[in-house]
Amino acid sequence: MTATAASSSSRARSPQAYDAIIIGSGMGGLVTASQLASKGAKVLVLERYLIPGGSAGYFERSGYRFDVGASMIFGFGEQGTTNLLTRALDAVNMSLETIPDPVQIHYHLPNQLELKVHRHYEGFISELTAKFPHERQGIRRFYDECWKIFNCLNSMELLSLEEPRYLMRVFFQHPLACLGLVKYLPQNVGDIARRYIQDPELLKFIDIECYCWSVVPADLTPAINGGMVFSDRHYGGINYPKGGVGTIAQALVDGLEKAGGEIRYKARVTEIIMEGRRAVGVKLASGETLYGRRIVSNATRWDTFEKLLPPEKMPSRERRWQTRYRKSPGFLSLHMGVAADILPPNSECHHIILEDWQQMEAAQGTLFVSIPTLLDPSLAPEGYHIIHAFTPDWLESWQHLPPDEYETAKEAAAWEVVDRLEAIFPGLDAGLDYLEVGTPRTHRRFLGRDEGTYGPIPRHKLPGLLTMPFNRTAVPGLYCVGDSTFPGQGLNAVAFSGFACAHRIAVDLGL
């Protein structure tokens, strides 16, 4: 009897039959796994790399502990319901010490527009209004409307929108909040911004406020997501986990294992096993096959439906999704160790640099900067800081370069970034102690993401979140979680996806 033809009864008797198998240990996958394990499910997470977390992981070099991705973390608030990372850890009896960041971003923008997004809401509004005094009323009305969206979200438990009983319960408990969210579901941030604001440069600022986490301008960013981000940075705040971003994934793994779940490393899934039309298991690169009542892919939808499943059998729903969404770029990343004295006094942890508005969406246009050691000095040797600079870039520029040309191109691109950083950190070149460069090829190799993509972005303007898929797929028994599902990209957003996915599976399994 072949593995794909194994009967459901033999799987039920097998000690290797799991309630849920999760492919990948990104934040969405880990939240799904830990939530299910906390409900008593038998769960297995399969991770292709050596450590958990994906782009929320870490690596260590020469005494530095680098975050793989961004260090700007939402979801660690202490009140409300949108503090999803706090809630995810609490579900498996885990917690982390966090360090509050007083400023979300220090912007360095064209036309010498310098602006800080303070944790204190009125401080931010005052600084922005000072830059655009003629838009005083529009600024207040736009950001206050974002608060209306956030307050609707923050008044209810955030679980699966695919589960009718949950929707009915939430509606009867919070009818006005639900009706408010329905109003905003088909809208994008740009729709709301232009309702109140006319100044072209201020609208550009709203664009980069969206781009810094959605990788698209305001017209393509769902209003629900904008309301969450633009408000939670003041409500729950940006809070950095002591020890680095990688501690979040490790704490979730510890909690998962204490709750009876399992995780395997160096376990690369090469195929989702089907029985008829139903997903019933996975095959590993080692040749081992494992079976589960539910299969969850934390891979991108391109990896899931074009690599783990036969692309010629892609469901029509997925083909329609691909006509609406495309892959975002990956990133050119510089992880640097620098002498502490090259940072100006009172430097902020997070910066965005853009010299030309026309280049905001271009490859290597917008430059993101994180300096997590300003919050947690333990991540670097004494007397040094970490600077992580990253800028969107496409795989095609790097894909076919032979090794020597690839290294030469990386070095040239890195020094261009260093030159740009010198504008706000004079003497950076001379103060460099360590430098490591990554490209979309690096992200594809270590994170297992098709073309090294950051995630899906709309091909054209869409009606808010209405076209974003939920966790269940057209393949029975197969679910997706992570940035390819509602509500999209960002650590707190994929945590939301994990809560929703676990809730939907738990209902389906009768847990």
DSSP output for 41-54: --EEEE-SSSSSBG
Q: Look at residue 45 in the predicted model and tell me its pLDDT.
A: 97
Provide the phi-psi class of 474: left if phi over 0, else alpha when psi is between -120 and 50, else beta. Answer: alpha
In sequence order, what DSSP letters do the residues of 288-299 get, joined into one string? -EEEEEEEEE-S
Percentage, residues of the chain above pLDDT 70: 95
Q: Look at residue 166 in the predicted model and tell me its pLDDT.
A: 66
d(CA 366, CA 352): 7
Query: What average pLDDT score do residues 91-112 get?
Result: 96
Parallel, antiparallel, or unpaired: how do β-strands 103-109 and 350-353 relate?
Answer: parallel
pLDDT band at 467 (very low <50, low <70, confident <90, very high): confident
* pLDDT for residue 2 is more than 90: no
pLDDT band at 16 (very low <50, low <70, confident <90, very high): low
**pLDDT tens digits, residue range 125-134?**
999 999 999 9
* pLDDT for residue 17 is more than 90: no
**Higher-confidence position of 55 and 34:** 34
Q: Look at residue 56 in the predicted model and tell me its pLDDT.
A: 87
**pLDDT tens digits, residue range 148-200?**
999 888 876 777 677 777 667 777 677 777 777 788 888 999 999 999 999 99
d(CA 161, CA 201): 37
Query: What average pLDDT score do residues 229-252 get?
Result: 95
Task: Supply the mean pLDDT for the chain.
Answer: 91
Give the residue from 341, 344, 350, 334 showing the smallest Cα distance to 424: 344
**pLDDT tens digits, residue range 278-313?**
999 999 999 999 999 999 999 999 999 999 999 988
HSE toward the beta carbon, residue 315, CA cutoff 13 A: 14
**Higher-confidence position of 16 and 340:** 340
Q: Look at residue 487 in the predicted model and tell me its pLDDT.
A: 86
d(CA 382, CA 308): 45
**pLDDT tens digits, residue range 254-285?**
999 999 999 999 999 999 999 999 999 999 99
